[in-house]
Structure 1
Amino acid sequence: MTTQSGPLAGIRILDMTSVIMGPYATQILASLGADVIKIETPDGDNMRHVGPMRHAGMGHIFLHANQGKRSIVLDLKQPQGREAVLSLAEHADVLITNVRPQAIARLGLDYESVRQRNPRIIHVSCCGFGQDGPYAEKAAYDDLIQGATGLPWLMQQYGAEAPCYAPVTMGDRVTGLHAVYAVTTALYAREKSGTGQAVVVPMFEAMSQLVLGDHLAGLSFEPPEGEPGYARLLTAHRRPYQTRDGYLCVLIYNDKHWRNFFAAIGDPERFTRDERFSTHRMRAAHIDAVYAEVASLMRERTTAEWQALLDEADIPNMPMNSPADLLEDQHLRQTGFIREVIHPTEGAIRTTGNPTSWSQTPPNPEVSPAPLLGQHSAEILAEAGYSVQQIEQLIASGVTACHSLDKENS
């Protein structure tokens, strides 16, 4: 086993997740030092097969979401596969899943079953819906949860021709972040109590909290004081501003910003002369007109001219980047967040680091690359006490499989 470092060094996590939500969470935990054992079916995580890729089974999203993990193949439909998970759980701190709890129960790997083997286990279920409501057994995917929590509706209010999803797996990744703090907080609680517990992390509730935090608006009150929707976020003029030769992202937000903005464009008296701009409350009440006026003014100068002017006036602005631009961003490169690593089978890969900084227990900057399917099966089973003969029997019966780097590189 690779020596781990970081704030979670010494913590072992059994990762029974796939696709994005769970793997995103466990990749963060791995970057913080946890020993994450990724339990995969004989076919592997679905994201292994989503291109682009250089070799079969090593898709781009899989490579990013599974750094720092070890892979073991276990066929959980066979009793020996389930027993192997329970054996691993005896020496683990956390077991995390992202399939429906009912399916986990049918496999005999629910919290009540697992804690019989390890009462200190923290059993985290990332699922679609809270388990006390009528949606408890429904399947959930990012698109469905985005729709159910109002994002396509909001996009249409914002000005889209038709309802549409955000072009990122927002539900998966937001819920994944909830799973990270659920794991770490449950570990802290166990330090005080000495016992583990079951934690449910539902996508629907996590995304509902995100959306309603901004857009409950007038419906916050009973009786209502207006319609839902935070007006500043929904105005059609809230978008990168078009300049004479491109686009620039600008947020003129508080009174100081507005005074400085009008002074910078040579009209310092407008802040007090035009009441729509004079106070935060008036700007909020006239947000469409306020943003439309800025949009009109921004077309008068080039992007470079505006950047120089706004920087001098201490007004927040940033370029409108593409993913390709981010790879070359001077700040991300200097902080080491954008990294170039050599994968043993996939060659040179651009990837990202952990975004946090720690003064005493920093995350390990040399996180191991995403594993081949079953790359560590024999190693992990041996750690759980299986003999060479037992491992060979599991391989022969199809319960597990081993994929050697030496074989791949030969």
Structure 2
Amino acid sequence: MTSTSDPHRKSTPGPLTGVRVVDMTSVAMGPYATQILGDMGADVIKVESHDGDIFRFAAPARHAGMGAAFLNLNRNKRSIALDLKRVDERERLVELIAGADVLVYNVRPQSMRKYGLDYESLRQRNPRLIYCGTYGFSEHGPYAGRPAFDDIIQAMSGLAALQGTNRENGPAYVNTILADKTAGLTAAYAIAMALFERERSGVGQSVEVPMFETLASFNLIEHMAGETFLPAEDKMGYERVLSPHRKPYATRDGYLALMPYTAAQWQRFFTLAGRADLAHDSRVTCAEERSRHIGELYGILADLVARKTTAEWMTLLGDADIPMTPVNAPEDLLDDPHLAAIGFFRHETHASEGEIRTIGIPVRFSRTPGTVRRLAPRLDEHREEILDEITRSTTHE
């Protein structure tokens, strides 16, 4: 059993120690970005409405307002609830931002302007501010201001269509909030870059991270394909990824993820699988031929895999240096020996939720590691200490 009161974990400075982030985001995209910053040492102050981040209420939960997804997205943050419709509370927010390094928001930009929280207004008080907007669509295009959630962006960015390429029932969503999390990762690196640039220039800037453009860029890296060329050399879509045979392969008793990639790996597979006659086929040995006929090769592979059990394949291919694994369910990760060895999951004691399991920080720094210094806050939990900090900072100005 571990606890956030561990003094060693509190004393370890992360790479963003000393950076203050005001977090005006909710649901997943923005909170994921700010949690990454918090894990790396930033002091993240989560500003919520008096109703709280709506993701607080995503089931399952032990207590209302402290759902599992919220707990997993909002550690290393302090919470204060402010009503932006009230002038006095809005002024407290402005004072808080005046002493911050970063503001991250997913409030609609027109609402930020309405409340005097736009970049041009705030930079007058804090010229070093990194002002990051995370929302659905760029303010520079005709979709500006439209509501957007993960499913909508998966559909608009082409991802749902790609997922449904080989499905009889048409387009399909990826079974994770991929758009939110990809855009959140993008926001985290964009903010880190802006902070780095500020160290050189001495001044802040406005940063925009729209979900639609982020996912369009993400999806089209490989799927632009033939349309990369003008005029087009071929249709869009990366054939290896879109092959109907690219999937976990059914064995006699389960499923196996298996991916020969290089010519040598394909040759070793066919030899060990009893099809040495294919090892010197041009569809295997020639990279261009292999790319054109990848669907056929995957089909042959699927037929061969079905002839043995998962364990037999793991034994047969164990020393062949071919990427492969049995297919894990999410529950299997809780007992994964690699994750266990690196301490990926920790048991923590939350002040209101009792014993919980936390997810590890995947990035490791040799001198300035990230840490979990505090667990997800209850709504408005840190109001008094944050207001006291605002008062002290304005007194010293």
TM-score (norm 2): 0.94
> Does residue 346 of structure 1 match 2:353?
yes
User: Helix, strand or coil: the match of 1:157?
Assistant: coil
Letter in 1 for 2:54: N
- Which of these residues, 132, 150, 160, is aligned with residue 140 of structure 2? 132
1:386 Cα deviation after fit: 6.4
CA distance in structure 2 between the partners assigned to 1:108 and 1:207 by the alignment: 30
Letter in 2 for 1:92: A
Residues 40, 3 of structure 1: alpha-carbon distance in 2 compared, 3 angstrom cutoff? farther
- Contact persistence 1:310–1:316 (CA under 8 A): no
User: Helix, strand or coil: the match of 2:125?
Assistant: coil
- Which of these residues, 223, 228, 247, is aligned with residue 239 of structure 1? 247
Superposed, which structure 2 residues align to 1:11-410 within 5 Å? 11-272=19-280, 274-364=281-371, 366-385=372-391
> Relative to structure 2, which stretch is displaced further, 343-352 or 155-164?
155-164
- Match of 2:5? none
- Contact persistence 2:79–2:383 (CA under 8 A): yes
User: Helix, strand or coil: the match of 2:375?
Assistant: coil
CA distance in structure 2 between the partners assigned to 1:76 and 1:268 by the alignment: 70
TM-score (norm 1): 0.91
CA distance in structure 2 between the partners assigned to 1:136 and 1:158 by the alignment: 33
CA distance in structure 2 between the partners assigned to 1:184 and 1:271 by the alignment: 48
User: Helix, strand or coil: the match of 1:384?
Assistant: helix
Superposed, which structure 2 residues align to 1:1-16 within 5 Å? 5-16=13-24
- Contact persistence 1:247–1:319 (CA under 8 A): yes
1:5 Cα deviation after fit: 2.2
CA distance in structure 2 between the partners assigned to 1:4 and 1:262 by the alignment: 51
- Match of 1:398? none
Consecutive unaligned residues in structure 1, runs of 5 or more: 388-410
User: Helix, strand or coil: the match of 1:158?
Assistant: coil
Letter in 2 for 1:136: A
CA distance in structure 2 between the partners assigned to 1:221 and 1:382 by the alignment: 59
1:67 Cα deviation after fit: 0.6
CA distance in structure 2 between the partners assigned to 1:3 and 1:175 by the alignment: 31
1:296 Cα deviation after fit: 0.4
User: Helix, strand or coil: the match of 1:337?
Assistant: coil
Letter in 1 for 2:273: I
CA distance in structure 2 between the partners assigned to 1:287 and 1:267 by the alignment: 17
CA distance in structure 2 between the partners assigned to 1:312 and 1:121 by the alignment: 54
> Relative to structure 2, which stretch is displaced further, 32-41 or 214-223?
214-223
- Contact persistence 2:27–2:53 (CA under 8 A): yes
CA distance in structure 2 between the partners assigned to 1:284 and 1:161 by the alignment: 27
User: Helix, strand or coil: the match of 1:116?
Assistant: helix
CA distance in structure 2 between the partners assigned to 1:311 and 1:233 by the alignment: 25
User: Helix, strand or coil: the match of 2:186?
Assistant: helix
User: Helix, strand or coil: the match of 1:199?
Assistant: strand
What count of residue pairs does the alignment treat as equivalent? 384
> Relative to structure 2, which stretch is displaced further, 16-25 or 2-11?
2-11
Consecutive unaligned residues in structure 2, runs of 5 or more: 1-9
The percentage of aligned residue pairs carrying the same residue is 48
- Contact persistence 1:245–1:302 (CA under 8 A): yes
- Contact persistence 1:4–1:34 (CA under 8 A): no
- Contact persistence 2:268–2:279 (CA under 8 A): no
User: Helix, strand or coil: the match of 1:211?
Assistant: helix
Q: Let me know the Cα RMSD of the aligned residues.
A: 1.4
1:59 Cα deviation after fit: 0.6
CA distance in structure 2 between the partners assigned to 1:174 and 1:31 by the alignment: 17
Encode CA deviations 1:150-189: one digit per residue, 9 max, x unaligned.
1121122133522111111111111001100111111001
1:266 Cα deviation after fit: 3.5
Encode CA deviations 1:344-381: one digit per residue, 9 max, x unaligned.
111121221110111111112x4311000000011001
1:4 Cα deviation after fit: 6.9
User: Helix, strand or coil: the match of 2:279?
Assistant: helix
1:267 Cα deviation after fit: 3.6
CA distance in structure 2 between the partners assigned to 1:319 and 1:86 by the alignment: 53
